[in-house]
Amino acid sequence: MPGTIGSGSYDPADVTFLLKDLSAVALERPTEDREEDMQRGRHYSEDLPVEYQPDDGYLELYHQALERSATRVALAAGLVSELVRVAKPAPVLVSIARAGTPIGILMRRWYAFRYGLDVPHYAISVIKDRGVDLNAVRHLTARHDPAALQFVDGWTGKGVMTRVLTETVVPLGLDDTLAVLADPARCVPLYGTRDDFLIPSACLNSTVSGLVSRTVLNAEHIGPDDFHGAKYYRDLEAHDLSRHFVETVVARFADVADEVAETWPRLWAGDRAPTWEGWAAVERIAERYDIPDVAMVKPGVGEATRVLLRRVPWRVLIAPGRAGELAHVLALAEARGVPVEEMPGLPFSCVGLVRPVRADGEAPEFHTAQSRYRPAASPQANGS
Question: Is residue 312 in some structural domain?
Answer: yes
Question: Is residue 384 in some structural domain?
Answer: no
State the Cα–Cα distance between residues 384 and 42, nearest whole angstrom: 24
Asked if 52 and 172 sit in the same domain, the reply is yes
Asked if 43 and 77 sit in the same domain, the reply is yes
Asked if 305 and 175 sit in the same domain, the reply is no
Cα separations in angstroms, 69 against 4, 61, 266: 33, 12, 23
Domain-terminating residue out of 269, 292, 312: 269
Beta strands 229-230 and 28-29, pairing class: unpaired
**Per-10-residue mean pLDDT, the chain, length 384:** 90 98 92 81 84 84 91 98 96 96 98 98 93 97 98 92 94 96 95 92 90 94 96 95 98 98 97 92 92 90 86 92 90 92 91 77 41 31 28
| Residue 329's CATH number | 3.30.1330.30
State the Cα–Cα distance between residues 76 and 191, nearest whole angstrom: 7
Question: Is residue 375 in some structural domain?
Answer: no
pLDDT value of position 2: 65
pLDDT value of position 79: 98
Question: Is residue 344 in some structural domain?
Answer: yes
Asked if 299 and 255 sit in the same domain, the reply is no
DSSP readout, 161-182? HHHHHHHHHGGGT----EEEEE
Asked if 245 and 305 sit in the same domain, the reply is no
State the Cα–Cα distance between residues 234 and 367, nearest whole angstrom: 44
Asked if 203 and 284 sit in the same domain, the reply is no
pLDDT value of position 151: 98
Question: Is residue 373 in some structural domain?
Answer: no
Asked if 293 and 235 sit in the same domain, the reply is no
- Tell me the whole-structure pTM to 2 decimals: 0.88
pLDDT tens digits for 55-113? Answer: 888 899 889 989 999 999 999 999 999 999 998 999 999 999 999 999 999 999 999 99
Domain-terminating residue out of 269, 293, 324: 269
Asked if 147 and 248 sit in the same domain, the reply is yes
Entry field: residues in the chain: 384
Asked if 200 and 339 sit in the same domain, the reply is no
Asked if 230 and 288 sit in the same domain, the reply is no
Number of domains in the chain: 2
Asked if 179 and 96 sit in the same domain, the reply is yes
Residue 285 has φ and ψ, to the nearest 5°, of -65, -45
Question: Is residue 251 in some structural domain?
Answer: yes
pLDDT tens digits for 21-70? Answer: 999 999 988 877 887 888 887 887 888 988 877 888 889 988 998 999 99
Structural domain range at position 112: 4-269
pLDDT value of position 302: 85
Question: Is residue 367 in some structural domain?
Answer: no
Beta strands 92-96 and 149-155, pairing class: parallel
